[in-house]
Amino acid sequence: MLFGISATAEEPSIHVVYPKPDQVVHAINSTFIFGHVRGEFEDKSWVLQINGHDVEVHRDGGFLAFLPVSPGEFCFDLSVATDVLATPIARTELRVLIPEPVQSLSDDTLQIAGDYAPPRGNLVLATGDELPIWFRGTPGCRAWFSIPGVIDSIPMAETQPRQQPYWGESVFGAGAVPESVLVRGIYSGFYVVPESVSVIDESVVYHLTPPSADSVRCRLESSELQLSVGTVLQWQEAIIAGGIEIPSDYCISMNRPDYPFCVRFKDSVQIIRHGPRKGYFAIFQPEGVEALAVGAEGGWYRVQLSHSQFAWVDSMSVERLPKGLTPPKSYLTSLRTYSDKDGVTVK
């Protein structure tokens, strides 16, 4: 909750611009906070403290700080006074949520933590689309994924340790990232949708099995891996059982019979994006513009704008048209030419 307390209208009040109340702030150890102090004072010599840290206030009232945070529900306590030892004359609390940083799973237990960087909802794919698959599990193992009714085994590879947002070094340091925030055990793979496959709302199944005996032997000899008797026994049981598996939290559909279909923009302030909630592809499309929806991710449609151009629109911003309507087409109506000494340029 964000609130300000002031004795009179002339006394200052604190207003935070970023972050917003209850916002999820993706940071590991520290984050920005900025805003301004409103009010009239004789010399505007305000002393602002945030969680006990002195923060300089600009002569126009603005402030910017980069402060340590901790995972979980985190509270910024802001107070302003006319002197360091003076009683605060305005105070504001701002609560945000700092997600727990992702940790590498232990080497001594075979486990799958689940999706890594999953889509924003269920996927609808068409022939030729690439389906990227990521999951997080015990490092150094063998992984693959399957799609029930489609394919039994597609190999996956463990990626290099992945970085997480670490603003302290990224903004003020040399860019070094400590090993403690690097995540091991992330496996990736992909599948290109063939024309012969049609499936509706199936989960991807992640599979993980212990490393091969040769791999374990090499890692033990290099002191890279230390195994307890219990770990060895668990791995043996997992190998006999064929490894472990869990389904994804999202579902996929490929070559659905109700796709593709036409959509029509409801008003003239809609935005086409490069991906769900990503950068702008085009802005302020006229009301009534139609496009062909060929896929989906969560609440977003993937629309085909030309033979080679695709973009994304919010499903709430368009009207789904009857299946039988002919896909929209654009025709060239005019050309612009530019003459030069060697010929003519057409645009």
Per-position pLDDT tens, the chain of length 347: 444 444 444 567 899 999 999 998 877 778 899 999 887 655 557 788 999 999 998 888 899 999 999 888 999 999 988 776 667 788 999 999 988 778 888 877 889 999 998 999 999 999 999 999 999 999 989 999 999 999 999 999 999 988 776 555 555 555 555 666 788 999 999 999 999 999 999 999 999 998 766 665 665 555 555 555 556 556 666 665 568 899 999 999 999 999 999 999 988 877 889 988 888 888 777 888 889 999 999 999 999 988 888 999 999 999 999 988 888 777 777 888 888 888 888 87
CA dist 248 and 142 (Å) reads 18
Instruction: Give the residue among 22, 16, 5 at the shortest CA–CA distance from 91.
Output: 5
8 in helix, strand or coil? coil
User: How deeply is 242 buried, as exposed, middle or buried, from its count of CB atoms within 10 A (0-12, 13-18, 19+)?
Assistant: exposed
Q: Tokens for 3?
A: 């609130």
Residue 178 has a pLDDT of 63
CA dist 196 and 150 (Å) reads 10
Q: Tokens for 101?
A: 């940083």
Cβ atoms of 66 and 28 closer than 8 Å: no
296 in helix, strand or coil? strand
Q: Which long-range contacts (CB under 8 A, 24 or more apart) does 331-334 make?
A: none
Residue 240 has a pLDDT of 55
Q: Tokens for 302?
A: 């993937």
CA dist 143 and 238 (Å) reads 13
Q: Tokens for 140?
A: 């150094």
Cβ atoms of 239 and 118 closer than 8 Å: no
CA dist 180 and 188 (Å) reads 22
Cβ atoms of 246 and 205 closer than 8 Å: yes
Instruction: Give the residue among 103, 66, 124 at the shortest CA–CA distance from 261.
Output: 124
All domains of the chain in start order, with CATH: 13-98 (2.60.40.10), 112-171+181-253 (2.60.40), 258-347 (2.30.30.40)
CA dist 2 and 347 (Å) reads 54
195 in helix, strand or coil? coil
Backbone angles phi and psi of 237, in degrees to 5: -65, -40
pTM above 0.95, yes or no: no
CA dist 91 and 76 (Å) reads 11
Cβ atoms of 125 and 296 closer than 8 Å: no
Residue 90 has a pLDDT of 86
Cβ atoms of 302 and 309 closer than 8 Å: no
Residue 320's CB is within 10 A of a number of other CB atoms, namely 13
